[in-house]
């Protein structure tokens, strides 16, 4: 389980296609590496992967992951900063909604505006029937970051990103045209899929 509260980012060092999928290597801080064990689950821009190996150096560490499908990591470009979140541990307080680290779909950034107060207005297009089950004030994870919906139309979702969110995540580096993962709260996603099946 994940909460969408990001405390660490990493840098994509390498994405290597292999016969059965892809290897992903991410450069992280020594402090974050100290908390990570082999076989740990980490959400990378909202998609959960399992740590296969860890290599530590003087000033940084590398984490190696495996993805069964190269298409799942197509947005992970070398030298790009990614949001990292460890899975929740038993006994931890849940500060809000929880997520599985399995994106509900992809969205495209269509509008960005930096306001004078440091907030960033971001609008994304979401061409999926799931949007019909969302409402303003609902919480979703955008590239693994928990955000509240501020605007909603037929195929557009709008967010307000506060300075702290821009400082600790990679969302402030996004450009118009970029693809991001979107995860809807699991219970809502399940119910919406059931209704969609009943309609067809």
Greatest alpha-carbon span in the chain: 57
The predicted pLDDT at position 184 comes to: 92
The predicted pLDDT at position 90 comes to: 62
Mind listing the pLDDT tens digit for each residue in 121-140?
Answer: 999 999 988 898 899 999 99
Residue 136 CA, chain-centre distance (Å), reads: 20
Q: Which of 18, 28, 185, 35 is nearest to 97 (CA)?
A: 185
How many C-alpha atoms does 76 have within 13 Å on its Cβ side?
31
The predicted pLDDT at position 7 comes to: 85
Say if pTM beats, i.e. exceeds, 0.85: yes
Segments making up each domain of the chain, as ranges: 8-86, 105-199
User: Are domains 8-86 and 105-199 of this chain identical in fold?
Assistant: yes
**Strand partners of residue 41:** 50
Q: What is the mean pLDDT of each run of 10 residues along the chain (200 residues)?
A: 90 91 94 93 94 94 91 88 87 69 94 97 94 92 96 96 96 96 86 75
Instruction: Compute how many other C-beta atoms are within 10 angstroms of the C-beta atom of residue 101.
Output: 21
| Residues 107, 92: Cα–Cα separation, whole Å | 31
Q: Which of 72, 81, 75, 67 is nearest to 27 (CA)?
A: 81
Q: What is the CATH number of domain 105-199?
A: 2.40.30.20
| Residues 38, 67: Cα–Cα separation, whole Å | 15
| Residues 61, 37: Cα–Cα separation, whole Å | 12
| Residues 194, 14: Cα–Cα separation, whole Å | 38
Mind listing the pLDDT tens digit for each residue in 10-44?
Answer: 999 999 988 888 999 999 999 999 999 999 999 99
Instruction: Compute how many other C-beta atoms are within 10 angstroms of the C-beta atom of residue 152.
Output: 16
Q: What is the CATH number of domain 8-86?
A: 2.40.30.20
């Amino acid at each position: 389980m994940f909460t969408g509260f990001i405390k660490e980012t990493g840098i994509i060092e390498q994405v290597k296609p292999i016969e059965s999928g892809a290897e992903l290597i991410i450069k992280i801080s020594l402090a974050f590496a100290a908390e990570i064990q082999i076989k740990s689950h980490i959400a990378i821009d909202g998609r959960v992967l399992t740590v296969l190996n860890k290599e530590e150096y003087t000033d940084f560490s590398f984490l190696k992951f495996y993805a069964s499908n190269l298409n799942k990591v197509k947005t992970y470009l070398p030298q790009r900063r990614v949001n990292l979140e460890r899975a929740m541990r038993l006994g931890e307080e849940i500060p809000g909604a929880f997520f599985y680290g399995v994106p509900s779909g992809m969205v495209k950034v269509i509008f960005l505006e930096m306001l004078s107060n440091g907030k960033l207005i971001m609008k994304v297009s979401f061409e999926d029937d799931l949007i019909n089950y969302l409402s303003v004030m609902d919480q979703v994870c955008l590239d693994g970051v928990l955000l509240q919906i501020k605007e909603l139309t037929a195929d557009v979702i709008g967010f307000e990103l506060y300075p702290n969110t821009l400082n600790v995540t990679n969302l402030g580096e996004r450009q118009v045209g970029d693809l991001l993962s979107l995860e809807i709260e699991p219970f809502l996603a399940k119910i919406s899929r059931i209704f969609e099946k009943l309609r067809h």
